[in-house]
Amino acid sequence: MEKDCEVEVVMMYDKFEKNVEGVFFLKGKDFTNAGTASSELKTILGEIGINQSIIRRAAIAAFEAEMNVIIYTPAGMMHYSVTPEILKVVVEDMGPGIEDIELAMTEGYSTAPDYIREMGFGSGMGLPNIKKNTDEMKITSSPGEGTTLEFVINLKKE
Ligand SMILES: Nc1ncnc2c1ncn2[C@@H]1O[C@H](COP(=O)(O)OP(=O)(O)OP(=O)(O)O)[C@@H](O)[C@H]1O
Ligand SMILES: [Mg+2]
């Protein structure tokens, strides 16, 4: 039974025959719209027919990346592209950059100020969670300029 469902999803996807891509603009400190980009991405992946457990991983990773831009930067954008093989998300922001990426990746490390912690963020788990939920993750950053975070989730079973 389960196998039948999987086959159907793959067929729907092949029928699409096109790669899908798009971009969301993210505004720093815009807590009213925080989470919108990742939630729209989740909807789009659902419409394409991506498997639910992959959508769940993608939504977690995209949400954490989106929140970091909103909390720590003035602005950024999230670009996504889906091919039959992979989902790739690139989140670019306008600074301040990350000086020590290894430290930023450490579970529990956070520079979130108190008012951000009061909103429930700042556990220092966002970047480690992106790593856990994706197949590839890369951060490049120039302090003073900005950060680019890229992640890939494989859509084909190995
Ligand atoms: N885009 C970014 N620009 C600048 N600094 C960032 C960016 N993303 C993360 N950081 C830095 O890396 C730290 C760790 O980020 P991470 O997402 O893991 O945790 P957090 O945002 O502090 O807490 P949580 O994600 O659990 O709410 C942040 O506290 C911040 O100092
Ligand atoms: Mg975070």
Residue spans of the domains in the chain: they are 2-154
What gap in Å lies between CA 72 and CA 99, rounded to an integer?
Answer: 13
**pLDDT at residue 4 above 60?**
no
Helix (H) or strand (E) holding 102: helix 101-104
pLDDT digits (tens, 9 = 90+) for 39-87: 999 999 999 999 999 999 999 999 999 999 999 999 999 999 999 999 9
| Nearest atom in ligand 1 to 128's CA | 18
- Distance, first Cα to last Cα, the chain: 21
| Nearest atom in ligand 1 to 111's CA | 29
Yes or no: say if 75 and 96 are a contact pair by the CB < 8 Å rule.
no
pTM for the model stands at 0.91
Of 32, 39, 41, 28, the C-alpha closest to 75 is: 28
CA 107 from centre of chain: 18
Q: Mean pLDDT for the chain?
A: 92
List phi, psi (to 5°) of 47. Answer: -65, -35
Q: Is the CB of 122 under 6 A from ligand 1?
A: yes
Cα of 131 to ligand 2 centre, how many Å? 12
Give CATH for domain 2-154.
3.30.565.10
Q: For ligand 1, atom 31, which residue shows the shortest CA distance?
A: 111
pLDDT at 1: 44
> What tokens appear for 1 in the block?
């039974």
Question: Would you give the DSSP letter of residue 109?
Answer: -
Cα of 55 to ligand 1 centre, how many Å? 23
pLDDT digits (tens, 9 = 90+) for 98-145: 999 999 999 999 999 999 999 999 999 999 999 999 999 999 999 999
Q: Which residues contact 16 (CB under 8 A, 6 or more apart)?
A: 48, 49
Cα of 134 to ligand 1 centre, how many Å? 17
